[in-house]
């Protein structure tokens, strides 16, 4: 029997196209009996239903603005759906953006602790993993330098390293590998494959189709908030390339 790591049932999300921030406009709107919408809306996610089994490795593909990042944010809990429901099993770690939660004025060491705690680790867990985190990132010399002096690749190395050491059950990766140099990208890919082999659930968003083909089994094609195709990754890539 397979268990699902992620169960998404018919979720939709509307966003505001034009933000109204003036009290005057809001006042006029209320005075007119709240008729119509105060601002224009559109669906960023529209009726998505998706089950992802534990241990699956899924690629989310699609053009810019098709809703991939938005979907990941719903899985990580950053956003809540307007309708429908999302359920996840176990610890979810999102690498939505490199080094979110890093503070430029703190040293690499402090940031490892801060970011680890933000991703849900306890002090003991971080203490235990610290050496391994630094070793994986290969920036030992700079660990006590403030991260504002890091290059973007070094930033990525440390951030990625912390994230993989949170030992998540579900790992969300959004476009982050692009910044690293060739050897480190290889290392990350190897690590991702290792996580996959260990039975973790992966969701990868990337425009680098070659990378995606290497690490994912299943592909989901997003188009204007709809999941229009759900098939083995090679087929989705073929469709995207055609």
Ligand X SMILES: Nc1ncnc2c1ncn2[C@@H]1O[C@H](COP(=O)(O)OP(=O)(O)OP(=O)(O)O)[C@@H](O)[C@H]1O
- The binding track of 127-166 with respect to ligand X, each residue x by CB under 6 A or -, is ----------------------------------------
Task: Specify the 3-state DSSP secondary structure of 199.
Answer: coil
Q: Does 96 bind another protein (CB under 8 A)?
A: yes
How far are the Cα atoms of 21, 142, 157 from residue 183, in angstroms, in the given order? 47, 19, 11
Q: Is residue 50 within 8 Å of residue 6, measured between CB atoms?
A: yes
DSSP assigned state of 38: S
Q: Given candidates 5, 66, 69, 115, which one binds Mg ion under the rule CB under 5 A?
A: 69
7 three-class SS:
strand
- Residue 198 binds to another protein (criterion: CB under 8 A): yes
Nearer to another protein, 46 or 235 (CB): 46
List the end-to-end C-alpha distance of the chain, in Å, as a whole number.
Answer: 36
The single residue among 28, 30, 63, 87 that binds another protein, judged by CB under 8 A, is 87
The Cα-based distances of 41 to 14, 20, 28, 44 in angstroms read 6, 12, 19, 9
Q: Which stretch binds another protein (CB under 8 A): 34-42, 68-76, 136-144, 154-162?
A: 68-76
Stretch that binds ligand X, among 67-75, 92-100, 138-146, 186-194 (CB under 6 A): 67-75
**Given the rule CB under 8 A, which of 150-158, 161-169, 184-192, 230-238 is the region that contacts another protein?**
161-169
**Binding-site size, another protein (CB under 8 A):** 50
3-state SS class at 40: coil
Of 44 and 215, CB closest to Mg ion: 44
Distance of CA 35 to the CA centre of its chain: 37
The pair of three-digit structure tokens given for residue 222, joined into one six-digit string: 């997003």
210 touches 204 (CB < 8 A): no
Choose the stretch contacting another protein; rule: CB under 8 A; options: 93-101, 150-158, 202-210, 213-221.
93-101
User: Residue 66 binds which one of another protein, Mg ion, ligand X, none, with CB within 5 to 8 A depending on kind?
Assistant: ligand X
Phi and psi dihedrals of 103, rounded to 5? -105, 125
SS3 state at 48:
strand
**Interface with Mg ion (CB under 5 A):** 69
**Interface with another protein (CB under 8 A):** 3-5, 7, 15, 21, 23, 54-55, 73-80, 85-92, 94, 96-97, 100-101, 103, 105-106, 110, 113-114, 117-120, 122-123, 125, 166-169, 198-200
């Amino acid at each position: 029997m397979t268990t699902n790591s992620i169960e998404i049932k018919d979720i939709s999300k509307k966003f505001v196209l034009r933000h109204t921030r003036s009290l005057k406009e809001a006042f006029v709107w209320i005075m007119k009996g709240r008729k119509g919408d105060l601002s224009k809306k559109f669906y960023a996610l529209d009726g998505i239903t998706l089950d992802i089994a534990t241990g699956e490795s899924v690629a989310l593909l699609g053009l810019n603005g098709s809703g991939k990042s938005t979907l990941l944010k719903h899985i990580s809990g950053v956003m809540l759906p307007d309708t429908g429901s999302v359920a996840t099993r176990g610890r979810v770690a999102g690498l939505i953006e490199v080094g979110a939660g890093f503070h430029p004025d703190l040293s690499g060491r402090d940031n490892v602790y801060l970011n680890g705690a933000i991703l849900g680790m306890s002090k003991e867990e971080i203490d235990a993993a610290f050496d391994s985190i630094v070793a994986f990132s290969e920036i030992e010399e700079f660990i006590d330098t403030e991260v504002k002096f890091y290059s973007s690749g070094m930033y990525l190395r440390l951030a990625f390293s912390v994230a993989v050491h949170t030992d998540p059950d579900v790992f969300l990766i959004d476009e982050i590998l692009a910044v690293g140099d060739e050897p480190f990208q290889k290392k990350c890919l190897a690590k991702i494959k290792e996580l996959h082999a260990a039975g973790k659930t992966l969701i990868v968003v990337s425009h680098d189709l070659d990378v995606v083909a290497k690490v994912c089994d299943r592909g989901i094609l997003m188009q204007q908030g709809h999941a229009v195709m759900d098939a083995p990754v090679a087929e989705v890539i073929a469709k995207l390339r055609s």
